[in-house]
Structure 1
């Protein structure tokens, strides 16, 4: 493999001149630059990314950790991160934690040892926990996505889940529903709690009653939505509408309702949350709350690069706003409840 020394010998210049031409670190005359570049081409010279990273203390690589899930939401966010990294000239190393705290900590250690320039974390299983390794690598910028309170310094990108839950329940109220249930995510998770709080705020504003039989906590997965609906069904009379706290659970709810001969939206209106790509292809197409997933990923990369360029910035929170997407799974109730 050719080196700068080989290029210098062929071009008849010093090694430092070759370095300045290749790294564009200082002005070199056009004539000498042309000789150096010609020699480099003849020798099939390829710059060493490792050597350059050691010199500038940057590897142009970002590490991202995400909880493995069947939910396409994560994949759509990762797509925004990956594309933004590519546009900015960065590589992305993606690690799945599978919801395992030990595996998450090992992955963080591995990425830091590989000298990534920064970390993007999308693993709510460590919400509120202290991660000691960040104290050892305190100069590595960290951006977290959609977490609750954190015990380490980082920038944060989040969806306004409180407003999203409010918009969902308010839409059901506006089309005439008075008996409205809610299938929540795990309420120990910040996003799930905030969506539930938004639902409660809308019902309180409308002075509607809460029926405990119509509120079921679940797990953000299809199977969880399916089981949650069956639990609600087993307790007796159903509401006329249900806010389901993500689209994956909504898919499970629609499946369970279909098995029982309950028509959506004629007998029961359903609104989801996330607006994952497949929500428009459900039967019926799902009315849902849109989360700007691509922009979440893009904002995370932008915040990380901003932190790399200015480490003295105060930690920032970038909040992206949800919006309603009306499709076919919500209609006015057959009669007032």
Structure 2
């Protein structure tokens, strides 16, 4: 029997040769964990003999992988998530992987629904890039199911609410402590922290570092606001109207821009009257005026590190990697004293 040309064989051809139903072949393609080892071997052998379509599905038949990575981001419109997605998609393409991007819109309900369907879609790995807290038992159960199916979940920040996730190991506490200490020592006055609503793992690290840097008796000015420009502008305006503030540490660059706009609307000049620093580094920080000083690891560096971690996880390597280190990028919004 002459093997057909690639692309000519169909799923029905594979089913007939393997002596199984079309449904069984489909299950091998999409839910291999539900198929016995013998059936899996028969279907893969039939697919190889028929030169079944050289696509992600065919590769799945041969090596148990689909060549697909799921990237879940809290808000794709945010500069950090955009930069992260760009780096991951480019490097994944170089490695022969495709990326499915999901915008969670800061909704844990949407996150849960996405997580629940990923095992059926046969993804090889999941990158979970969100600063939001995970509190619903169903969400944690969905993460456990991924682990049970051997699908690694990688995160950009250490999470105490996703017990099986692999993390880059980047700790925001030290950058937050260093940033707060530097601003407090500038002589401008009390320092405030703008952090995301419903403080998640990233927020908890920022708050811990911020509080650790405050001197005894200094006011604790932690303000929760959405991770965006509008929310931060409103929150900073309310803060500046009720308290004397000399410095603001903002979790994200859009939040820092919102704080600057609120200050300018009140006649405050940055950095003369108020200094501002952000806990993330993205190109936007250098593109606004005043340009924003940052202390963090750039989105692109996070993306590179995630892909290295992912490659090790898929290869079954437990290769320890040095954690990312924060870098201070000094711009117009704050120049630390030497």
**TM-score, normalised relative to structure 1:** 0.76
Correspondent of 1:222 among 223, 229, 238: 229
Cα distance in 2 between the residues matched to 1:99 and 1:106: 13
CA gap 1:96/1:242 in 2 versus in 1, 3 angstroms: closer
Q: Which residue of 1 aligns with 2:195?
A: 184
Q: Which residue of 1 aligns with 2:34?
A: none
Q: Post-superposition shift, 1:218?
A: 2.0
Does 1:161 find its partner at 2:172? yes
Number of residue-to-residue matches in the alignment? 287
Q: Which residue of 2 aligns with 1:279?
A: 285
Q: Which residue of 1 aligns with 2:218?
A: 210
Q: Which residue of 2 aligns with 1:41?
A: none
Q: Which residue of 1 aligns with 2:267?
A: 261
Bigger-Rg structure (1/2):
1
Higher deviation after alignment, 170-179 or 96-105: 170-179
Deviations 1:81-102 (A, max 9, x none): 1122122121111112222223
Q: Post-superposition shift, 1:279?
A: 1.0
Does 1:60 find its partner at 2:67? yes
Q: Post-superposition shift, 1:330?
A: 2.0
The DSSP-based 3-state class of the residue aligned with 1:188 is coil
Higher relative contact order (CA 8 A, sep 6+): 1
CA gap 1:155/1:317 in 2 versus in 1, 3 angstroms: farther
Give the gaps of 5 or more residues in structure 2.
Answer: 7-51
CA contact (8 A) 1:176 1:332 kept: no
CA contact (8 A) 1:159 1:320 kept: yes
Q: Post-superposition shift, 1:271?
A: 1.4
- Aligned pairs for 1:64-213 within 5 A: 64-68=71-75, 70-125=77-132, 127=134, 129=137, 131-137=140-146, 138=148, 139-186=150-197, 188-204=199-215, 207=216, 209-212=217-220
What is the aligned-residue RMSD (CA, Å)? 2.8
CA contact (8 A) 1:156 1:318 kept: no
Cα distance in 2 between the residues matched to 1:133 and 1:189: 18
The DSSP-based 3-state class of the residue aligned with 1:116 is coil
CA contact (8 A) 1:65 1:96 kept: yes
Cα distance in 2 between the residues matched to 1:332 and 1:131: 42
Q: Post-superposition shift, 1:177?
A: 4.1
CA gap 1:265/1:50 in 2 versus in 1, 3 angstroms: same
Higher deviation after alignment, 276-285 or 125-134: 125-134
- Aligned pairs for 1:274-313 within 5 A: 274-310=280-316, 313=318
Cα distance in 2 between the residues matched to 1:65 and 1:157: 16
CA gap 1:223/1:318 in 2 versus in 1, 3 angstroms: farther
Higher deviation after alignment, 151-160 or 115-124: 151-160
Does 1:322 find its partner at 2:323? no
Cα distance in 1 between the residues matched to 2:5 and 2:176: 64
Deviations 1:119-154 (A, max 9, x none): 111234453555323444411122122252034412
